[in-house]
Amino acid sequence: MYYRFIRLQTSQESMARGMALGLFISTTPTFGFQTGIALVLAAVLRCSKIVAVVAAQLTNALTAPPIYFATYYLGAEILGTHFDSGLLDDLSMDSIKQLSGEVFGALWLGGGILGVILGVIGYFFVIGIDTKAHRQLVRARLYMERMKRKNGAEEEKID
């Protein structure tokens, strides 16, 4: 997976922005819609769609309860609201519809803060990923382009 990540036909900056976007979206209370949101926002913000969608998968069936617990706790503490740890035990659509605006506010605030933190970490992680390997790929592409131009120039001399 690492080499596929490195070999994406996009810039490191675009991949880093896609990672930051996907990680941010993964902490918002938009479970079930995160892939679509990541795809649309990545297209609008001109960052790597593939990386954004993959990073948005941080929140899945196994990780959603602890992530939403953390975001709810953080948001409730900042807002000064009563923290009820039992609210997020059942993540069915019926139970989600019954949650109050106060709970959603805590989820959005905590998710936004955690998302910014994870997004910044993810951005700099991708920027720092083995830049040597990325430079080698760029050099190889440039070498191939020079060889094509050189071969094209030799063919013109023959004609």
Does the pLDDT of residue 130 top 80, yes or no? Answer: no
Which among 115, 139, 126 has a CA at the least distance from the CA of 29?
115
In 3D space, the residue among 129, 124, 126, 122 whose CA is nearest the CA of residue 24 turns out to be 122
Fill in the DSSP letter of residue 81: P
SS3 content of the chain, % helix, strand, coil (to 5): 75, 0, 25
What per-residue confidence (pLDDT) applies to 88? Answer: 55
The pLDDT tens digits of the residues spanning 24-41 come to 999 998 888 999 999 999
Give pTM, 2 decimals: 0.69
User: What pLDDT band is residue 159 in, cutting at 50, 70 and 90?
Assistant: low
Task: Tell me what pLDDT residue 142 has.
Answer: 87
Comparison of pLDDT for 129 and 86, the residue scoring more: 129
Report the chain's mean pLDDT, rounded to a whole number.
81
Which pLDDT belongs to residue 94? 65
More confident call, 116 vs 10 = 116
Report the pLDDT value the prediction gives residue 145, as an integer from 0 to 100: 87
Taking only the tens place, the pLDDT of each residue in 50-80 is 999 999 998 888 888 888 889 988 998 998 8
Q: Is the pLDDT of residue 136 over 90?
A: no
Between 91 and 25, residue with greater pLDDT = 25
* % of the chain exceeding 90 in pLDDT: 34
Please tell me the predicted confidence (pLDDT) of residue 135.
75
